[in-house]
Amino acid sequence: MSESRSSRDPATLARSLARSRTRAALATSLNGAPYASLVLVAADLDASPLLLLSELAQHSRNIAFDPRVSLLLDGTEGRADPLTGPRLTLLGQALPTDDPRFLARFVSHHPASALYAGFRDFRLFRVAVERGHLVAGFGRIDWIDGADFLFASSAGALAAAEPEILRHMNEDHSDAIAHYARVLLGRTGTGWRMIGIDPEGIDMRCDGETARLDFAASVRTPILTPDAARAALVQLAKVMRP
């Protein structure tokens, strides 16, 4: 992938960061006072955050009275000076949803959640993003409107086909997935699996470790259909280490 993160526009960079994170700091209102907690997060195809929360948790009780939330997504790990790394704050409203596709996508990204996803006291929320604040390093700070942050083109066909694409890749093309992880991302380990695909890239997981591969320079056109996804995945399998 020859295109560097720093060359992307703020909204694209913010989406890439949001899509690559598996946890976040969630801020809610506790009787008007800020209350922060750690949550697991997955991004929908348009990059909207998905949260699976217990109704017994304090943050869920806070959301029931005031759905306004803030999420801090931290991409600074592994840096000697964390303040040189990217982080993103998203502001919006956490709205409950019963859409089975959203739940399936969350569970795919967090397999352990399958043990409790069906419990009555757990509920899925989709955050309707209103604004984002991206700090991509010293001197690189941008406010992003929610409409600009979210991936705008319709990916309904890709969303409907995502489970079959993942099944097909994991069962029939594990060698290609290993290539993506080892050659394109420099990740070690065996047994990598695809856990998600969206218009801008794919997500993979191996023994609790996750990896994000943006299509970026290798695939210029957003992936919106199963046929386009197949072509992109074949193209990635032919790319050597940049």
More confident position, 7 or 70: 70
The answer to whether residue 6 scores a pLDDT higher than 80 is no
115 and 84 in one domain?
Answer: yes
Residue 91 tokens read as: 């502001």
- pLDDT tens by residue, 97-147: 999 999 999 999 999 999 999 999 999 999 999 999 999 987 789 999 999
- pLDDT tens by residue, 183-195: 999 999 999 999 9
59 and 173 in one domain?
Answer: no
The answer to whether residue 238 scores a pLDDT higher than 50 is yes
The answer to whether residue 2 scores a pLDDT higher than 50 is no
Q: ∠ at Cα 217 (187, 48), nearest 5°?
A: 75
Within 13 A of 137's CA, how many CA atoms are on the CB side? 8
**Cα–Cα distance between 67 and 120 in angstroms, integer?**
20
Count how many domains the chain has: 2
Domain termination residue (choose one: 87, 115, 149): 149
Here the CATH number for the domain that contains residue 209 is: 3.20.180.10
Query: 220: pLDDT confidence band, cut at 50, 70 and 90?
Result: low
Identify the bridge partners of residue 33 per DSSP, sorted by sequence position: 30
Domain termination residue (choose one: 129, 149, 169): 149
- The arithmetic mean of pLDDT across residues 229-240, rounded, is 90
Give the Cβ contact number of residue 98 at 10 Å.
Answer: 8
108 and 30 in one domain?
Answer: yes
- pLDDT confidence of residue 8: 75
- pLDDT confidence of residue 3: 43
The answer as to whether 22 is a domain residue is yes
- pLDDT tens by residue, 36-57: 999 999 999 999 999 999 999 9
Q: Which domain holds residue 214?
A: 156-237
169 and 80 in one domain?
Answer: no
The answer as to whether 242 is a domain residue is no
Looking at residue 182, its amino acid is R
The answer as to whether 74 is a domain residue is yes
- pLDDT confidence of residue 115: 95
Please check whether residue 11 is in contact with residue 148, taking contact to mean a CB–CB distance below 8 angstroms: yes
The DSSP secondary structure of 111-160, one letter per residue, reads GGGGGTTTSTTEEEEEEEEEEEEEE-STT-EEEEEHHHHS--S--HHHHH
- pLDDT confidence of residue 84: 87
- pLDDT confidence of residue 218: 64
- pLDDT tens by residue, 54-105: 999 999 999 999 999 999 999 998 888 888 889 999 999 999 999 999 999 9
**Cα–Cα distance between 154 and 159 in angstroms, integer?**
9
- pLDDT confidence of residue 241: 60
- pLDDT confidence of residue 98: 96
The answer to whether residue 242 scores a pLDDT higher than 60 is no
The answer to whether residue 4 scores a pLDDT higher than 50 is no
Looking at residue 234, its amino acid is V
Here the CATH number for the domain that contains residue 60 is: 2.30.110.10
Please check whether residue 135 is in contact with residue 86, taking contact to mean a CB–CB distance below 8 angstroms: yes
85 and 179 in one domain?
Answer: no
